[in-house]
Chain A
């Protein structure tokens, strides 16, 4: 008999196809963290209120705590672990280090993934990214350490 609480799905995660049997109640965030040991996506609230779980789903930024894994069958997911090219950091990762854009680092993977999605959104809209626009567009990612000015500086550098 088929267990109604389990479902088989396929996700392309950081470029690699994964066949998974998931609990239908499981969020993408929990699948990443607890099943696949991709702990770069963080759980700050589990309710879509902080942004620390932000990943890219089919290229768009999304809060993985709000996404049920079972509903994402066939999607491609990029997490912070998938950004660097070998030893070569993604420009945003490098800029975050250079600008000291984090303290505890817990919001950081979410900030970086969110920034990647945001830069793409702005590019598609042809919108100008003033510091004020960056602040507004990045306000879904809370940083309790208060690294905001450095986060904006890091993103602005890459946006140029």
Chain B
């Protein structure tokens, strides 16, 4: 494998599409102009469980400008789809409140919206159950957890080790449902030309969206084209096709027009995915000097009636700390709720909140500094599998972070005050797997000597377009200005989704390989080359590959009102090679900011009586605002790990959110002496903490 010369890689290259984004020229899904267009609007179920007995669409259809009203009684039949959320209008069953039950298409958005309000859905309502409990009678063990991990693991003898342990911790932590809430709502613009379907869709992977769409309509993949040049964020929720894409294609077919179907912010709380709430019981055993002898992590989560989604929340515990006795398990219950889905660091994010809170509690119980305790229990090999790590720099991150944060000056005593404010600081570790998936790419030299690279990658705000351009430029040995990378189009060479923090590793390797092949091809007088990384990925050694990090938080808690301010956040990460320090820093900050939201503000509240996520808009679901973010510092450890991929990257999109919530909760404990084991931390638990 040729050594990639580094010039652009590692340089602070500005975002390639920056100018388009600040001038308003960048077009997102339904902002494309397909000529004559019609507008769709979705109608949702108003009960959590039941069967539709009739839909009266007469009044809706009589509105001026309305073209059609679609529902299960008149919708086209779809082929079998693997994700039941996509089987829209195929049967009268309602599996959750907010599920799509009808859709209107009209000449203009005002008419579509008005008509949707006039569709009368008659439902035979059935009693529903939307409450997750750790003692729910219908809990079951899934065959695997995402993406393909065993549900349960059991090494050594946890019970015996806990019984023998000098110190034990046994606590239950919980996290609420969280909604991704990308700034651009999910949206699709669909157009048919004969039996060919084109969709502009807001998603994390054009190629990955094409196959299910083609399948649903009984088309060959070549008959379908999915475009997603600019995407207004995703955070996991646009990693799998959402039902509006199917509805848009149906409305376009039936109306003979191009159809724009934007999902509203409120609708996003029902059918575009969210993070499952979790209940997690953590048991730790340790010696008096803080050596961990046993860990048990049991997770309870929900899924829907129509699809199993098993969040892998206990998997980071299989990676983090050395112990001979380690047991993890996941139990699910099917409720009358929307199907949970991917949200930034699925598994690691809620799982590490529980583990890193418990580790903090252990540190206090044994009277050892929480950084020292983590260093003492660092693992030389992956604790559950025994596999060697390709690289593991958790300790380096903790030490570097301690230096930068001024941890040595921290007074371990709780409830330090500055007037009415309590001040405290906390630490937590981060981890996320370093995945790589096979991909293909093409590279071509143009008559003017510039280069064009193509891959069906996605840039949802990650900076992928820029990073891939840097990788291509260095491989070709030319400045970035001479290279254009086309992405976001399923007609380009196949590539996986922007997910699992593996974009740069997966796509970058294919781009580098294609550029290398092009150089060889040009020697022979050729001008185009194609590459596929499948073989090199299959040849990779069987190692544990993970990124690690350490997060530090300083909080101020108002002793009278309970208000919490995060005055400082620091994240130090060991995530392989950093391709672009500017966009990487932004992404880490973004992850940590979302982690702050998880700790303090965000929470989707289930209304048990009506079976609905109640606070379904941005006025009630609070994501961090500018004034919430005072000071976030990011740093990274240089890592040169040859066992990852040709680029040497581990991925940075998700690890930033892992550990933030625990660091903040641990800091709140240090500040106030109060331990919060349920997120988000509500002010009512802190009011009067000063007295």
| Contact residues in B for A125 (Cβ distance below 8 Å) | none
What are 13 residue pairs bridging A and B, where the CB atoms are less than 8 Å apart in the complex?
A34-B39, A34-B108, A44-B618, A81-B25, A97-B15, A100-B14, A107-B183, A108-B22, A134-B626, A135-B629, A145-B586, A147-B586, A150-B586
B33 on interface, CB distance cutoff 8 Å: yes
B673 within 8 A of A: no
Query: Which A residues touch B160, using CB under 8 A?
Result: none
Tell me which residues across on chain A come within 8 A of B461, comparing CB atoms: 102-106, 145
Q: Are A42 and B183 in contact (CB under 8 A)?
A: yes
Q: Tell which of A84, A94, A106, A140 touches B28, judged by Cβ atoms closer than 8 Å.
A: A106
The answer to whether the Cβ of B486 comes within 8 Å of any Cβ in the partner chain is no
Q: For the complex, what is the distance from the CA of A103 to the CA of B185, rounded to whole Å?
A: 16
> Is B22's CB under 8 angstroms from A103's CB?
no
Q: Which residues of B contact A135 (CB under 8 A)?
A: 626-627, 629-630
Residues of chain A within 8 A (CB-CB) of B463 are 103
| Inter-chain pairs besides A25-B114, A97-B18, 8 sampled, C-beta below 8 Å | A25-B110, A41-B24, A80-B22, A81-B23, A93-B23, A103-B233, A103-B587, A144-B235
- Is B184 touching A142 in the complex (CB atoms < 8 A)? no
Residue of B nearest to A83 (CB): B23
**Bound CA span A94–B64, Å:** 45
Q: For the complex, what is the distance from the CA of A27 to the CA of B183, rounded to whole Å?
A: 19
CA of A149 to CA of B566 in the docked complex: distance in angstroms? 14
Partner of B14, one of A33, A97, A105, A148: A97
B624 CB contacts on chain A under 8 angstroms: 146, 148
Whole-angstrom distance from the CB of B614 to the nearest CB of chain A?
Answer: 16
Segment touching A, from B332-340, B361-369, B589-597: B589-597
Closest partner residue, chain A, to B631 (CB atom): A149
When distances are taken between beta carbons in the complex, the residues of chain A under 8 Å from B387 are: none
Taken residue by residue from 14 to 38, chain B's Cβ proximity to chain A (1 for < 8 Å, 0 otherwise) reads as 1101111111111110010100000
Q: Judge if A18 is at the interface, Cβ distance under 8 Å.
A: no
Residue of B nearest to A23 (CB): B110
Interface residue A45 (Cβ < 8 Å from any Cβ of B) = yes
Within 8 A of B (CB), among A95-122: 96-98, 100, 102-109, 112
Determine the distance from Cα of A30 to Cα of B30 in the docked complex, in whole angstroms: 12
Q: Quick check: A103 and B462 within 8 Å, CB to CB? A: yes
Q: Is the CB of A103 within 8 A of B590?
A: yes
Which residues of chain A are near B592, meaning CB under 8 Å? 146
Q: Which 10 interchain pairs have the tightest Cβ spacing?
A: A40-B24, A104-B461, A106-B232, A146-B593, A105-B21, A103-B461, A146-B590, A39-B31, A80-B24, A49-B618
Q: What's the least CB distance linking A63 to chain B, in Å?
A: 12
Contacting pair A106 B22 (CB below 8 A): no
Q: Which of B312-335 contact A (CB under 8 A)?
A: none
The reply to whether A146 and B629 form a contact with Cβ atoms under 8 Å apart is yes
Contact B24 A44 (CB under 8 A): no
Counting CB contacts under 8 A, is A160 at the interface? no
Is there an interface contact between A38 and B24, defined as CB atoms closer than 8 Å? yes
Looking at the assembled complex, report how far the CB atom of A155 sits from the nearest CB atom of chain B, in whole angstroms: 10
- Nearest to B268 among chain A residues (CB) is A45
Where chain A touches its partner, the secondary structure class is loop
Contacts of B21 in A (CB 8 A): 102, 105, 108
Q: Is A64 an interface residue (CB 8 A)?
A: no
In contact, B629 and A144 (Cβ under 8 angstroms)? no
A100's contact among B15, B110, B181, B593, by CB below 8 Å, is which? Answer: B15
Highest count of chain B CB atoms <10 Å: which of A47, A112, A135, A145: A145
Is the Cβ of B230 less than 8 Å from the Cβ of A105?
Answer: yes
Q: How far is the CA of A159 from the CA of B25 in the complex (A)?
A: 25
The yes or no answer to B306 lying at the interface (CB within 8 A) is no
> Is the beta-carbon distance between A49 and B619 smaller than 8 angstroms?
yes
Residue count of chain B within 8 Å CB distance of chain A: 63
Of all chain B residues, which has the CB nearest A155?
Answer: B626
B661 on interface, CB distance cutoff 8 Å? no
Task: Give the nearest-CB partner of B591 in chain A.
Answer: A146
CA distance A97 to B265 in the complex (A): 28
The answer on a CB contact under 8 Å between B627 and A136 is yes
Q: How far is it, in angstroms, between the C-alpha of A136 and the C-alpha of B629 when the chains are bound? A: 10
Most buried by B among A47, A98, A132: A47
For B586, the chain A residues whose CB sits under 8 A away are 100, 103, 145, 147, 150
Is B358 positioned at the interface, with any CB of A under 8 Å from its CB?
Answer: no
Shortest Cβ gap from A29 to chain B (Å): 10
Q: Is the CB of A138 within 8 A of B183?
A: no
Determine if B109 is an interface residue (Cβ-Cβ < 8 Å): yes
**A143 and B114 form a contact (CB under 8 A):** no
CA–CA, A26 and B23, complex, Å: 24
Q: Does B623 contact A (CB under 8 A)?
A: yes
> Is the CB–CB distance between B619 and A104 below 8 Å?
no
B632 to A: closest C-beta gap in Å: 6
Chain B residue contacts of A152, Cβ below 8 A: 626
Q: Are B589 and A149 in contact (CB under 8 A)?
A: yes
Produce 1/0 per residue, B616-659, CB < 8 A to A.
Answer: 01110001111101111000000000000000000000000000
A84 vs B20: C-alpha distance when bound (angstroms): 12
B618 and A89 form a contact (CB under 8 A):
no
The interface centre, meaning the residue of B262, B594, B629 with most chain A CB atoms within 10 A of its CB, is B629
Return chain B residues, CB-CB under 8 Å to A98. Answer: 14
* A residues near B582, Cβ cutoff 8 Å: 100
A46 touches B264 (CB 8 A): yes
Residues in A neighbouring B585, C-beta threshold 8 A: 100
Q: Smallest distance from the beta carbon of B661 to chain A beta carbons, Å?
A: 14
Is A109 a contact of B24 with CB atoms below 8 Å?
yes
In the bound complex, how far is the Cα of B629 from the Cα of A142, in angstroms?
12
A80 to B22, CA, bound (A): 8
The yes or no answer to B168 lying at the interface (CB within 8 A) is no
Residues from chain A with a CB closer than 8 A to the CB of B182 are: 104, 106, 144
Interchain CA distance A100-B617 in the complex, whole Å: 28
**Chain A residues with CB below 8 A from B14, complex form:** 97-98, 100
In the complex, the answer to whether A104 meets B183 with C-beta atoms within 8 Å is: yes
Tell me how far the C-beta of A104 lies from the nearest C-beta in chain B, rounded to whole angstroms: 3
**Minimum CB distance partner of A140 in chain B:** B625
Closest to B22 in A: A93
CB distance from B37 to the nearest CB of A (A): 8
| A43 contacts partner chain B, Cβ-Cβ < 8 Å | yes
CB distance from A99 to the nearest CB of B (A): 9
**B460 within 8 A of partner (CB):** yes
